[in-house]
Structure 1
Amino acid sequence: MLETSAGGIVVDVVDGRARIAVIARRNRAGRVEWCLPKGHQEADETLVETAEREVAEETGIEGRVLVTLGTIDYWFSTHDRRVHKIVHHYLLEATGGDLTIENDPDQEAIDVAWIHLDEVHNHLTFPNERRIARLAWERLAGEG
């Protein structure tokens, strides 16, 4: 089964330093994982619309997509099926809102935080998401 999701890195610059909103969630084993906001594409949405909606729902921060950062492609199994998941990541500019998990309809996020982009590699759980954060850094630095 194929699942498509979108989300990304919503950036806010404060005092000349870029920071991004990340969420914490519990995995199936109950461990806390810090990750980028993302979620399933609704039937009538574009990937860009999905990314903007999911970031707002999971972090409380409204954003506008600036550029595509890349995809993460992986497989996982549930009790009754094997799933091929593709997650499309975007760089978003923060345009409003307040940091909160209160708007998450799935209530998947248990916490949300601003992390400086140059320090996020110390906080994100998954190497593939650290790679996406590095791509965001490169784009913002004019290297990508």
Structure 2
Amino acid sequence: MKHKWSLLTFVAFGLFILFGQQYQWFGSGNPDSFPKLPASPSFEISKTHDGEWIGRRVDVTGNNMCERTAITGKIVDGLATLSLTYNGTILKGWINAESNELVLYASNRQWDYRFSATAGINRIQGKWHLTNGPCKGTWYLEKQS
């Protein structure tokens, strides 16, 4: 009897994994499904934040794979181009002139990063998470003079 329950549990788990992958219940590891930077934004771009920026990404989960890392980069003509220093992931996006909101698009082939923030005059801060991993937290940038 125990053997039948073990076999049934094993088959049920296998079906759960199969259907979960098919219907993307677990998030996707397919980089083609990750959001891409649009050719142009659907809003007026703010150019008041142009300059060099340095900051940090901070994980709040305590998971070892979610390392704290520096973020460096610049904003030129309203286009933010930033880099996560620990793995070289490039983040790009624009700041909305009306709302000062910034949404970044990542170019990592493995991790589906999501970064959003609000821009102030000398500081940008917001939240980030992975859709296909356990990591999430806060992040910030400070404008360099």
TM range (shorter): under 0.3
TM-score (norm 1): 0.26
The answer to which structure has the higher strand fraction is 1
Q: Please say which structure displays the higher CA radius of gyration.
A: 2
TM-score (norm 2): 0.26
The answer to which structure has the higher helix fraction is 1
